[in-house]
Structure 1
C-alpha cells in the first residue's frame, strides 16, 4: 500500500498520545434548551477536546462527519499544535500561506490532520461511519493517510458533491464539485453501517421508492447454464387465468443447449423456439394458481431461492430483513419480487442537496453571518446514511457554523428518535456568536422578514445542548493527579485506560467499584482530602480490611479485580491468591 511522507511526520504520528487529558466544564449560562438532551457543544482546540471526550465516548459514536480546512490558501488557518519538533515549532502561530507563498503548506495541513484522525478513529463504534469533506487541494493526501489510519479495506466510497453553486470564475474549466470521503469502522460490520436511504433524485414510480424489486429470473449465458425447473401444482401467478401450449422441441435442441451452456439466439432460430423459458409442458393457470406440473427450460438466476420457495409451500423466503416471492406472469415467465423492509439506493454522485449560497442566506435569516456553510440538506442526507439508528451519536470536531448539529436535529424531527451530537469548535467567537446562536434558533424557532417585509415564522426542532469548555489537565506537570479532579473524573479516566471502553455509568463515589468489563472488576480508592498522599485513614490505601470489604459486582463473581489506589499494605502473595491486582495512582494509570 502506498505511504506518504512529509515534513514533521515523525513528530506527529504519536502526538495524539502526548496530548494531555483535560477536564470538561459545562457552562449553564451558555447552554440552551433541555440540558439532558445529550448534546454537547465544546469550545476549545479539537485535539485536546477529543482527548478529553475519549474516556466517555470511545467506541460509542455511530457517525463522524468533519469539514476541515480545505487548505486552499484562502482560509487563514493557523497551525498551533504543541509538538516537540524544531521544524514544527517554527510554524507555530503563523498563518498557512498560499501554494506559491508557502512551500510547506501541505506538510502543515498533514501534521494538523494526522493526530486528529488518529483520535477520531477511537470514537467509532464497530458499525460506525467516517465522512470527511475536502476538495482537490488535499484529496489525494487525505485519502492516503485515511487509508493508513482507518484501513484501506474499510474504504467505502468517494462521494462527489455537485456543488451547483456559482461557478462564474476565471478558470477555463469551472470547478463545481467537492468530495466526501467515506470509511466504515470495520468491514466485518459494514452491512450494519449504512442506513436505508434512497437518493433524492430517484425518479417517481421507481420500484426503489415502492419498497420492492421485481425482476425476471430467466438468465441465459455461460454463467447461467440452462437446466429444467419443475413448477408444482399450486405455484402462484400474477394473472387469474392463462393457457399456454408447450414448445415443440426435440432432444437434439436440449443436448446442444446443455453442451453450449446457453440457449443462444442462433439456437432458438435454428429450432424455431419462440420464447425462453422453453415450456416442455402445457401451462394452465386457474384462479391465480398452476393446475398441473410444468417443466421450464432456461438459464436461471436465483434458482436456489426458487427451490426454497417451492419446498416452503410457496411461503416468502427470508433474505435478511427482506422477503422474496416468485410467480408466473402473463408470458409464462418466472419472476421474483423482493419486498424490502426499507429501500436503499445510495449513489456516489450527490446532486440536488443545496448550495453554500442558499445555506448562507438561510443562516442570515437566523441572524448568523457565516461564509461557505454546508447545506443542511447535504449533511442531513449524509447523516441518514451514517447515523440511521434512533440512538446514534454523531461527532463533528470542526463544527464551524453548526450545520452538522442542525442537520441532526432536522433528522430527529423528520424521522423520530433521539440522535445526539457532539460539536467541537476552536474559535470562541464562532462557538458563542455563530454556532450557539444558530443552534438556539434551530431548537427554539425563529422569525425573519421576507423580501416583501412579511414576517415569517420557522418552528423550532426541539432539543437542547450543553455548552462546555476545556479545563485543566487531569495530571500536573509532575504527573500527579490535579486537586481539581473529582472522583467521577478520575474514575472515567481510569476505567477507560484499563479497559479501552467508556465507563458504564458516571461514578458518584458511593462505592469504590466503578464498573466491570470482560470478567474484570475495576475499583478506585481516592480521597479528595489527600490527593497524591497515601493515608489509610482517608481510605485511599488498599489495606487488608479494605480488601475484605471490596464489594463484588454480584455474589458469584470470580473474575479478576483491579484496584487503583495511592498505596497498598497487603502482601503481593495475598493479592495474587485472591486474584487482585494493585495499581498505584498516578504512576500506573496508563494512557491510550
Structure 2
C-alpha cells in the first residue's frame, strides 16, 4: 500500500497517546424554553470550547466506540496567512503545539507538513471514538484532498474507504478565475468496519416522485414505466412481443428482454406490462411505488438541489446573524444529507471542527423533521465558541428572523463546557486540584464505560470509598489527599456491600494473595493501575 511521509510524522504518529486527559469543566446549560441555567440539562448535547485534540481525548471515557456519525470540516490549508475559518494551520495555538510536539524540525515544516502533523493525531482519536458500524465524513478541497486520502487509508484502513463525494459548492462560474472556475469540493467517507457499516437510503424528492403516476387507475397505486430490455444478450430473452393492437416488438439490437417468455406472460396476466396510454407504445414494466425501496441510493455527485451550496449557507447564516461572521460556512442541508445516510434517530453525532455550529443546526432540524432523538457534540477552540457557535444553537432552538423570514424554533437543549485541568500531573500522579469528584468519575468510567448515577458534588474527601456496583462487581476507590491509603484487614471493615467480585483501588495492599483470591478481591494500585485513555 502506498504510504505518506512528511517531516515530523514520526513525532505525531503516536502523539494521541501522550495527549493529557483533561476534565471537562461545566459552565452552563441551555434549554429553548428556559434559556441559560446553572444546572446541567443532561440533554446529551454538548458544546466544548478548547483545543479539539485535548477535547477528543477527554471524550474517550464516555464515548469511545459510541459515535455513529462524525462530520468534520477542517482547515483547507489554502496558504492564506490570515487565520480565518477553513483556511490554514498558522493559528497561534497550532504553531505552539507544533513547536512543542515536533520540536526544532517544526521550523522547517512546509504548510502541508504542518497540516498533516495537525490532522494525524486528531484523526487517530476520532477513529477511537467512532462506532464499529459508524462512518466519518470529512469536507476538503484540492489543497489537501490527496494527502487526506492517503492519511485516512493509513488510519482507517484502505478497505474501509466508502466514497469520495463531489459536492457542488457554487452554482455559477467565477469568470475572474485564472485557470478554471472551482465549483466543487469533496466529502471523503470512511467507515470504522466496512462490513458493519449501516447506511440508509435518502427520501425521494418531489421530482423523483412525479415520475410515478397511475393513468390506468391500477388498484396497486402509483407506478412508473421501466425499460424491459437488458444490457446484455441472452437467448432466453430473445423473442417477439405482440402488443394489444397486433404490433410486434423485438429487443433492441444486441440486447434481449429482461425476462424469459414464460415470466413475461405471467407479468402480462398480472397487468404489470404497459404498452403506453393508447396501447401503441413499446412494452414497459410497471414499477409500483409501494413495492420498491422507500428511498434512493445516494450518488457521489451532490448538486445544490440535493445538498445546498455556499450561497445558500451564507444566506442561512445571515438570517441567524445579520453580520455574517463567516465567508464559507457549510449549508445545514449538506449535513442533513449526511445524517440521513449515516445515522439513525438515536445516534450521537460529533463535529470537532464546529465553526459556526452548522452540524448542531442540522441535527436539530432533522430531529424536528422525523421525530428523532439524535445528540450532537461540538468542539470549537476559538474564542467565538460561546458567542457564535453556542449562540447559533440557542437561536435555532428558540427560533429566529421576523416577518416572512421568521423560522420556527426546533426546541432542544445543550450543556456548555470548557477544557479544565489535566487529571494527571507531569509525574503521572493524580492531580488533586481537579477535585475528588472528577477523579472518582474518571475511575468509574475507566472500569465500566458508564456514568456515575449519583451526585458527585456532595462527596467529601475520604467520606465514602464506594464507587458503585455493576454486573455483580463492587468498585471501591480508597483514596485521600493527605495520606497514603492501604488495603488491609482494617480497610475491609469499611466495605459494607456484598458482591460476587471486588475491585479495590488503594496506594498499597497488605492482604495475602491467597485471601484475596478466596474473597474475589482484585487490587489496583494508585496511580499505576489507573487506565490512561
TM-score, normalisation: structure 1 = 0.71
| Residue of 519, 524, 541 corresponding to 2:476 | 524
> How many Å apart are 1:86 and its aligned residue?
7.8
Aligned residues of 1:33 and 1:465 also touching (Cα < 8 A): no
* Whole-Å separation in 2 of the counterparts to 1:3 and 1:39: 37
* Whole-Å separation in 1 of the counterparts to 2:8 and 2:160: 26
Aligned residues of 2:140 and 2:187 also touching (Cα < 8 A): yes
| Residue of 158, 176, 179 corresponding to 1:169 | 176
> How many Å apart are 1:495 and its aligned residue?
4.6
> How many Å apart are 1:68 and its aligned residue?
0.2
Task: Give a deviation string over 1:289-313, Cα, whole Å, max 9, x none.
Answer: 7xxxxxxxxxxxxxxxxxxxxxxxx
Partner of 2:460: none
| Residue of 307, 327, 332 corresponding to 1:376 | 332
Between 372-381 and 160-169, the greater mean CA deviation after superposition:
160-169
Establish whether residue 447 from structure 1 lines up as the match of residue 401 from structure 2. yes
Correspondence list, 1:462-473, <5 A? 462-473=411-422
Question: Are the structure 2 counterparts of residues 267 and 506 from structure 1 closer, same or farther at C-alpha, using a change threshold of 3 Å?
Answer: closer
Aligned residues of 1:83 and 1:89 also touching (Cα < 8 A): no
Structure 1, unpaired ranges of 5+? 93-101, 228-241, 246-262, 269-273, 290-326, 449-453
Aligned residues of 1:492 and 1:507 also touching (Cα < 8 A): no
Partner of 1:54: 60
* Whole-Å separation in 1 of the counterparts to 2:520 and 2:68: 36
Establish whether residue 408 from structure 1 lines up as the match of residue 363 from structure 2. yes
Establish whether residue 70 from structure 1 lines up as the match of residue 25 from structure 2. no
Correspondence list, 1:110-509, <5 A? 110-165=116-171, 167-190=174-197, 192=198, 194-198=199-203, 200=205, 203-206=208-211, 226=236, 277-278=260-261, 329=273, 339-340=291-292, 342-352=294-304, 353-367=307-321, 368-387=324-343, 389-428=344-383, 430-448=384-402, 456-486=405-435, 489-498=438-447, 502-503=449-450, 505-506=452-453, 508=455
Partner of 1:232: none
> How many Å apart are 1:84 and its aligned residue?
7.7
Question: Are the structure 2 counterparts of residues 515 and 112 from structure 1 closer, same or farther at C-alpha, using a change threshold of 3 Å?
Answer: farther
* Whole-Å separation in 2 of the counterparts to 1:280 and 1:211: 23
Aligned residues of 2:75 and 2:88 also touching (Cα < 8 A): no
Aligned residues of 1:492 and 1:506 also touching (Cα < 8 A): no
Task: Give a deviation string over 1:475-500, Cα, whole Å, max 9, x none.
Answer: 1222221224455533443355457x
> How many Å apart are 1:329 and its aligned residue?
4.2
Correspondence list, 1:14-93, <5 A? 14-28=14-28, 32=35, 35-74=41-80, 75-77=87-89, 78=91, 79-80=94-95, 82=97, 88-89=103-104, 91=106
Partner of 1:249: none
Between 565-574 and 377-386, the greater mean CA deviation after superposition:
565-574
> How many Å apart are 1:7 and its aligned residue?
0.5
Question: Are the structure 2 counterparts of residues 585 and 214 from structure 1 closer, same or farther at C-alpha, using a change threshold of 3 Å?
Answer: farther
> How many Å apart are 1:115 and its aligned residue?
0.2
Q: Secondary structure at the match of 2:336?
A: helix
Q: Larger Rg: 1 or 2?
A: 1
> How many Å apart are 1:409 and its aligned residue?
0.6
* Whole-Å separation in 1 of the counterparts to 2:212 and 2:529: 60
> How many Å apart are 1:465 and its aligned residue?
1.2
Correspondence list, 1:567-586, <5 A? 567-586=508-527
* Whole-Å separation in 1 of the counterparts to 2:261 and 2:76: 60
Structure 2, unpaired ranges of 5+? 81-86, 214-220, 238-242, 276-282, 457-463
Question: Are the structure 2 counterparts of residues 446 and 522 from structure 1 closer, same or farther at C-alpha, using a change threshold of 3 Å?
Answer: same
* Whole-Å separation in 1 of the counterparts to 2:230 and 2:489: 73
Question: Are the structure 2 counterparts of residues 267 and 195 from structure 1 closer, same or farther at C-alpha, using a change threshold of 3 Å?
Answer: closer
Establish whether residue 564 from structure 1 lines up as the match of residue 531 from structure 2. no
Task: Give a deviation string over 1:132-151, Cα, whole Å, max 9, x none.
Answer: 00000000100011111111
Task: Give a deviation string over 1:267-306, Cα, whole Å, max 9, x none.
Answer: 99xxxxx997345999899xx77xxxxxxxxxxxxxxxxx
Aligned residues of 1:533 and 1:566 also touching (Cα < 8 A): no
Alignment root-mean-square deviation, CA: 4.0
Aligned residues of 1:491 and 1:514 also touching (Cα < 8 A): no
> How many Å apart are 1:515 and its aligned residue?
5.5
TM-score, normalisation: structure 2 = 0.78
Task: Give a deviation string over 1:407-462, Cα, whole Å, max 9, x none.
Answer: 1111011111111110000112x2122112211111111235xxxxx674221111
Question: Are the structure 2 counterparts of residues 207 and 577 from structure 1 closer, same or farther at C-alpha, using a change threshold of 3 Å?
Answer: farther
Q: Secondary structure at the match of 1:187?
A: coil
Question: Are the structure 2 counterparts of residues 455 and 280 from structure 1 closer, same or farther at C-alpha, using a change threshold of 3 Å?
Answer: closer
Aligned residues of 2:332 and 2:362 also touching (Cα < 8 A): yes
